[in-house]
């Protein structure tokens, strides 16, 4: 999480970076990504997988083929 906070501080003032960070943790459920067992990482990966499949189907098929060969 310090990488996220550091990046925000690099681009914003402290008070704006704080509120953006709170938004990430509370509303975008970033906290779940860093919990033991990484439950949020799996959930966010599935959402990203769905969105790529829906909006970029050719790239999705390419990635499915690429990772099935490895």
Segment 10-62, tens digit of pLDDT: 999 999 999 999 999 999 888 888 889 989 899 999 999 999 999 999 999 99
Domain segments of the chain: what residues? 1-34, 36-70
Q: What is the pLDDT of residue 34?
A: 84
Q: What confidence score (pLDDT) does residue 52 get?
A: 96
Q: Is the pLDDT of residue 5 over 70?
A: yes
- Check residue 1 and give its pLDDT: 82
CB burial readout 38-70, b (16+ within 10 A) else e: eebeeebeeeeeeeeeeeeeeebeeeeeeeeee
């Amino acid at each position: 999480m310090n990488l996220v906070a550091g990046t925000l501080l690099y681009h914003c003032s402290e008070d704006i970076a704080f509120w953006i960070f709170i938004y990430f943790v509370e509303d975008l459920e970033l906290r779940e990504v860093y919990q033991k067992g990484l439950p949020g990482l799996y959930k966010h990966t599935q959402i990203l997988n769905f969105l790529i499949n829906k909006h970029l189907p050719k790239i999705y098929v390419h990635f499915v083929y690429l990772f099935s060969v490895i």
